Structure 1
């Protein structure tokens, strides 16, 4: 009897022990689940914080370790003091990215501060692109990036200051009336731009296509040496890659090549086309996108082509070109410009050939073919384009009318 009672007691103890173990297991599972969940939440929060910090730093989140840059960072107070609190009197330019201000550091060094417009989402992408690309480029005909400033939502790029401003002010503005803009100065600018583009296409660590090469994106130093600026739309290619196609066409009317404006296809030959437009603008003193002539309704490219085919190309020259100049070399320079703006990309020379043709009188120049966008503007096209004259220098374009301004 006692033995039976003892066995029952042992069985009860065993059951209680099993229940206790079961409860402990449940507690352990609950505790483990809570810990795992908290760890996941903490990891997620940390990831989001790190992602935001990288985004605020203005760099590409997918950048590899090789793309991490050692770029000087300016604090907001330094930039604000240098630009006189971004005063209107210090403002020297404005574009699709935002505003540009002249500043002076405490050391006495003059700087140009490119301030991203907070309302421009496109500008954030351009900021990232420009920092990543131009920080890796060093050439005497490229504007030098000194650093950047990131403060909350503010993003700014700090460049060396170019005292003579942009090329377009000399070609089209009052600057050319107040300062000497001789043939030798114009040729030096053309050759300098060619040297800079050649470096981008061939000699830099990356193969860069600028995509927005134009007169206002060429700055002039104190000695009138040209420096290419604004790499917000530039694209880096592998050295085995020659062209690509994109859905979203961005650029500036009057400088875009036909294949890029129509099909979104860009390559080094797109930059060559833009460079050719700049040559013809420098030589004529006229803007391609706003050119008008009493005898026809062609743009500057069409006008130059007509004069070339009629043997009257000397009439294209800017009457305000100062000093004496060798007509044979001037006409040769115009011919190079016409070769660059030919309609078909395969007909256009490479920048290495362009540079050789500009600096060597022995280089043989082929006869140019018809330029791109060689059409007369219809009244509808003229009306549509007049609506775009006040738009920013960087435009997203869906082109149905294929005549440049």
Structure 2
């Protein structure tokens, strides 16, 4: 598993947290103070069903965090399938606040609550509520029965990932990112900063929903970039300009989106350590052949039925991916442009009436 990467600048002894504010002054907390900030998060504001839960409710929902209910784990902590008292099935993220991770864990918890409680879009995961009880932090989300895109591509699920389904997922994820980048509910653009295939969750009907907003950044009003000495994200999805300069822009998400497009096209991981040094990075491996129609056939995922795609749609898709992972951010399309192009690609892949009716529903807004 690949975890979040951090490129550090000068060591910071304090952490800046927007403590329940909406554009007001932020308070600076020292790491030792974070443990004293219990039960001070803003209440979720998005839906009437948003709730603040107790530790006891979290224990009840997960059968005391039984391993039988464990559905995921990573650097952030663990995710459990749970059932609330009202019978609703949910996913519960138990944040890892061990001493070495307490500062980052607390910050990511607060960022996620603050951002998701303000957003409402069908391609973003729904925050149902949270728990901030003593030293314990939990995030409660809608349950996504089909898991995440990375697992699906890696064959953990028995679902066959043919081309129309991959296009549907790509379009849904693009719409979610486009919404974040316009962010009408917040008033300023939001950069996800950790967009990747494992953070694209799938509903019962394979609707893509973006998750994990702990590293997300609200862009300063009127600015198109944010400079930082701490580069955050996941290896394989890092925007080269962001990694080299520390300048975070909306284009950083678009680079990561391009990497996900390449995963959908090839069925390969963004980083594959089992490969030789020159083949470990997916972008470096395939970027030079994305606009070569003859060579392109060789990298198309062999797990897809050849009857499920046309080479015209494959070529258009590869061209879009190539522009998204352009080294220079100025050469990348916007997410709004990505949405429009993916709609055209879906239409280009329509070969007969049965294919047409299925894919037409994917392009509707």
Do they superpose with TM above 0.5?
yes
Assess if the C-alpha contact under 8 Å between 2:271 and 2:280 holds in 1. Answer: no
Q: Deviations over 1:311-337 (max 9, x none)?
A: 411211100013522220122111111
Where does residue 223 of structure 1 map in the other structure?
A: 205
**Structure 1 pair 228/309, CA: closer, same or farther in 2 (3 Å)?**
closer
The reply to whether residue 97 of structure 1 matches residue 79 of structure 2 is no
d(CA) in 1 for partners of 2:91 and 2:262? 29
Matches within 5 A, 1:73-88: 73-88=52-67
> Alpha-carbon deviation of 1:294?
7.3
| Cα displacement (A) at 1:310 | 4.4
Indicate whether 1:184 and 2:164 are aligned. yes
Check 1:97–1:295 CA distance in 2 against 1; reply closer, same or farther (3 A cut): closer
Whole-Å separation in 2 of the counterparts to 1:53 and 1:182:
48
> The residue matched to 2:146 in structure 1 has which SS?
coil
Normalised TM-score (structure 2):
0.78
Note the C-alpha offset of 1:353. Answer: 1.2
SS at 1:107 equivalent: coil
Does structure 2 retain, via aligned residues, the 8 Å contact 1:283–1:318?
yes
RMSD of Structure 2 on Structure 1 (CA): 2.3
| CA distance in structure 1 between the partners assigned to 2:115 and 2:277 by the alignment | 45
Describe the shift of the 1:58–1:285 C-alpha distance in structure 2 as closer, same or farther (beyond 3 A): farther
**Structure 1 residue corresponding to 2:283, chosen from 298, 301, 306:** 301
Query: Which residues in structure 2 correspond to 1:102-121 (within 5 Å)?
Result: 102-119=81-98, 120-121=101-102
TM-score w.r.t. length of structure 1: 0.71
Residue 297 of structure 2 corresponds to residue 314 of structure 1: yes
**2:310 aligns to what?**
326
**2:138 equivalent in structure 1:** 156
1:137 alignment counterpart: 119
Report whether the alignment pairs 1:198 with 2:178. Answer: yes
- Shift of the 238–250 alpha-carbon distance from structure 1 to 2, 3 Å rule, reads closer
Q: Distance between the aligned counterparts of 2:334 and 2:316, measured in 1? A: 17
1:246 corresponds to which residue?
A: 228
Question: 1:86 deviation in Å?
Answer: 0.3
C-alpha deviation, 1:52, in angstroms = 8.0
Q: Which runs of 5+ in 1 are unaligned?
A: 1-50, 60-66, 364-405
**Conserved 8 A contact 2:53-2:130:** yes
1:298 CA drift (Å): 6.1
Q: Deviations over 1:190-231 (max 9, x none)?
A: 000000000000143231100000011110010111100000
Give the alignment of 1:161-172 within 5 angstroms.
161-172=143-154
Once residues 297 and 132 of structure 1 are traced to their aligned partners in structure 2, the CA distance between those partners, rounded to angstroms, is 39
> How far off is 1:235 after superposition?
0.6
Instruction: Describe the superposition over 1:277-311 as per-residue Cα deviations: whole angstroms up to 9, x where unpaired.
Output: 00000110001211766795463212222323544
What's 1:17 paired with? Answer: none
For residues 269 and 129 of structure 2, the distance between their equivalents in structure 1, rounded to whole angstroms, comes to: 33
Q: Render the CA deviation track for 1:129-186: whole Å, top value 9, x for unaligned.
A: 11011110000000000001121111101000000111100112331xx112111110
The offset of 1:113, in angstroms, is 0.5
Q: Check conservation: 2:259, 2:270, Cα contact below 8 A.
A: yes
User: Structure 1: how far apart are the matches of 2:79 and 2:233?
Assistant: 19
Tell me the secondary structure at the aligned position of residue 321 of structure 1: coil
Tell whether the 8 Å contact from 1:292 to 1:299 is kept in structure 2 after alignment.
Answer: no
Q: Match for 2:320 among 326, 336, 351?
A: 336
Relative to structure 1, is the Cα distance of residues 285 and 297 closer, same or farther in structure 2, using a 3 angstrom cutoff?
A: closer
Alignment partner of 1:286 out of 268, 278, 297:
268
Considering Cα pairs closer than 8 Å and 6+ residues apart, tell me whether 1 or 2 has the greater RCO.
2
| Preserved contact between residue 73 and residue 79 of structure 2 (Cα < 8 Å) | yes
Secondary structure, aligned partner of 2:37: helix
Q: Distance in 2 between matches of 1:52 and 1:315?
A: 52
CA contact (8 A) 2:112 2:212 kept: yes
Bigger CA drift: 97-106 or 129-138?
97-106
2: CA distance between counterparts of 1:240 and 1:348?
A: 20
| Alpha-carbon distance in structure 1 between the residues aligned to 2:275 and 2:212 | 32
Distance 1:361 1:116 in 2: 39
Partners of 1:332 and 1:94 lie apart in 2 by 36
Bigger Rg over Cα: 1
